[in-house]
Chains A and B, each alone.
Chain A
Amino acid sequence: MTAKFPVYPREQVRLTTRIGNWLLGANAALIFGFIYLPVLILIVFSFNNTRSVAVFSGFSTEWYGKLAQNTDLLDAARNSLLVGFITTIVATVIGTMTALAMDRYRFKLRTTFDANLYLPIVIPEIVMGISLLLFFNQALFPFLLNVFGIRASTGLHTITISHIAFDIPFVYVIVRARLADFDRTLEEAAADLGADEWQTFKRVTLPLLMPGIIGGALMAFTLSLDDYLITAFTKGVQEQTMPLYIYSLVRRGVTPEINALSTVLLAGSIGLVGLSLTAQSGGPVYTKGMSIGAGVGLGLFGLHSLPALFAPGAFTIGGLIVRLILLSAFIWVWRSYRGFGEEFGETTRLGRIMAWITVAIAGFAAYLSALLLLS
């Protein structure tokens, strides 16, 4: 029977697989090198002490120092953060509500609307940017002028509206994925124990959905901070955002200053995405850690900037209210710390280290953005 089949000599098989494995490994090394080397080189040359991006002559942080003094850049960063925060809050609330409605109810046109929600993710970004440009300039503004007599123009508000429009679908997809794994019997159990619908939602549904919601929110924030094309079509004459500013520099040439700026952005978006992924797949210890970190960061900024408010001539009521809100973050931390502590006790050692890292990243991010936005 066996004679019917070709029998390969053992040596030959081993040789071909060995060469094959070697080729596979080489291919993998080449591809990862191709993907990561340019980024590593970019980071290395951001610390160069001359203007060259080819010859490394010595370590210096002068380019980072220049960034911190560049007022155009700081304005752009402030605008980006402002747009990002508003976009994230609105898109997360609306996206989560939509996901809940689509998951829990059956109604006419449900599948049509579901497909429609995927459209902004798949159609080319340039098409969406152009349609929004035309919509604002040819439809909405003339409409506002003729019907209400309001003279409107593009600016940060149109950028924000557009970012919300493309972020809602992403939040929706992420929260919907979380809802798909949701165990509905938990809600029934809560109802059996006498909770009404609102209590069930607040105490059972929302906490279980939280990882998805936080993940979606951080994703929305990253996308908003990174977007160039749609922003470029919906921007006003004056205000810049970070990607617009970088684009104008990148088109002009290659300098270590752009390298430094890029490195800062890389660190920021990798940190944010790391948080997003841990929120989605890690346990509650991480999400609680994040909120504690953010609370500490905001509170520290409030404390740290309080004396400046009482400097001669600098006092404003609005400033005081903002500082008080920031300081109240400490109360929030104090309240949620117990929950964190309980979760913390049940985690492995690696998990604890990771949890502290998330606390640190969230705290640093919150402190930095408060610093940029409020000073």
Chain B
Amino acid sequence: MLKFFRRNKSSQLFGLISPGVLWILIFFNLPLLIMLFISVVERGRAGGIKIPPVYTIENYRQLFNACVSQFAGPECNPFLYLGIFGHSVRIGLMVTFLCIVLGYPLAYFMAKQKPIWRDTLMILVIIPFWTNFLVRTYALKSVLATEGLLNSFLMNLHLVNQPLNLLFNEFAVVIGLIYGYLPFAILPMYTSIEKFDHTLMEAAADLGASPRRAFLRVMLPMTLPGVVAALVLVFVPVVGAFITPDIMGGGKVEMIGTLINRQFGVARNWPFGSAMSMVLMLLVLIGVIAYFRSGSEESRSVL
């Protein structure tokens, strides 16, 4: 047996790669295909799908016009789901923008430090990546809670008379998402800025550019790949986020993730949930593919 493997190159390759190929094909690609299939059939009466399957594109149409559904009431809002999608994208853009605006100066600050400080700060940025996301979200929640530290602090200073409702609204979700994904923005921008040759700024100044002009015309364009990487790395997970809107929003803030989750919980509409998952996946994949096509090195900095 071993001898056979030693002699035969292609059987060596086959032996090495088949477990990986099989596992990924069966437990990753095939499930996605099944999801695609479920997204184009009618739902069953008690959840699940109708047997034998009846093909329909209603699940996708329902996304654009909520009144198409046979279960919709008379006073339905046709843009119900589209609105939630739009809302998620808006929250995603807002969080991404804030992460970049806050993260870029920090990345610049880090790149300017002496190597030993730079490494220390770098570790401080990396640690949140590997700490349990749930625990970090809970940490923020416990600070913002009605009986939490921030409220008791404000009350003691007599800045407010009664505790503020800092949780279970959109503000809390946005803060939670920034808290969760800011490190994803800092890392690629730092990689870019660190590589940037700062003598170019001196050259620009020597040639008469004001600091602002030098930044806008020299440094920003040259570190743009890092900014774009930050944009993708924050926007993609934020749009599909579930844990943060669920914990920080307390069921009061609807995003794509919570909407999809509900179809597999109380709403029991698997086909519609699958259709939304397909759309979410396509949204994300288009962004990621466009980004990888641009072939920037920063794309790998986070992995």
Interface residues of A, Cβ cutoff 8 Å to B: 4-6, 8, 16, 23-25, 27-28, 31-32, 34-39, 41-42, 45, 52-55, 93-95, 97-98, 100-102, 105, 107, 113, 116-117, 119-128, 130-135, 137-139, 161-162, 164-166, 168-169, 172-173, 196-198, 222, 226, 228-229, 233, 243, 246-247, 250-251, 254, 258-259, 262, 265-266, 269-270, 272-273, 276-277
Q: Measured between alpha carbons, how far is A277 from B35 in the docked complex, in Å?
A: 37
**Smallest CB separation, A137 vs chain B (Å):** 8
Chain B interface SS verdict (over half): helix
A131 to B147, Cβ gap below 8 A? no
**Smallest CB separation, B264 vs chain A (Å):** 6
In the A-B complex, the 7 residue pairs with the smallest Cβ-Cβ separation, listed nearest first, are A124-B240, A98-B20, A135-B31, A5-B208, A131-B31, A273-B130, A101-B17
A228 to B20, Cβ gap below 8 A? no
Q: Which of B28, B34, B137 is within 8 Å of A165, CB to CB?
A: B28
Interface centre among B31, B141, B261 (most CB of A within 10 A): B31
Q: Which residues of B271-291 have CB atoms within 8 Å of chain A's CB atoms?
A: 273-274, 277, 280-281, 284-285, 288
Knowing A131-B35, A229-B243, the reply to whether A27 touches B102 (Cβ < 8 A) is: yes
B139 to A101, Cβ gap below 8 A? no
Chain A interface SS verdict (over half): helix
**Smallest CB separation, A351 vs chain B (Å):** 16
Total chain B interface residues with beta-carbon distance under 8 A: 85
B109 to A25, Cβ gap below 8 A? yes
Q: List 16 A-B contacts (CB under 8 A).
A: A4-B208, A5-B207, A24-B108, A32-B121, A35-B124, A94-B20, A97-B16, A122-B285, A128-B28, A130-B274, A134-B270, A166-B28, A250-B137, A251-B247, A269-B131, A269-B132
A126 to B23, Cβ gap below 8 A? no
Residues of A within 8 A of B208 (CB): 4-6
Residues of A within 8 A of B121 (CB): 28, 32
Q: Measured between alpha carbons, how far is A4 from B131 in the docked complex, in Å?
A: 56
- Whether a CB of chain A sits under 8 angstroms from the CB of B128 is yes
Residues of A within 8 A of B303 (CB): 121, 173
* A-contact bits for B93-130, CB 8 A (1 contact / 0 none): 00000000011011011101000000001001011101
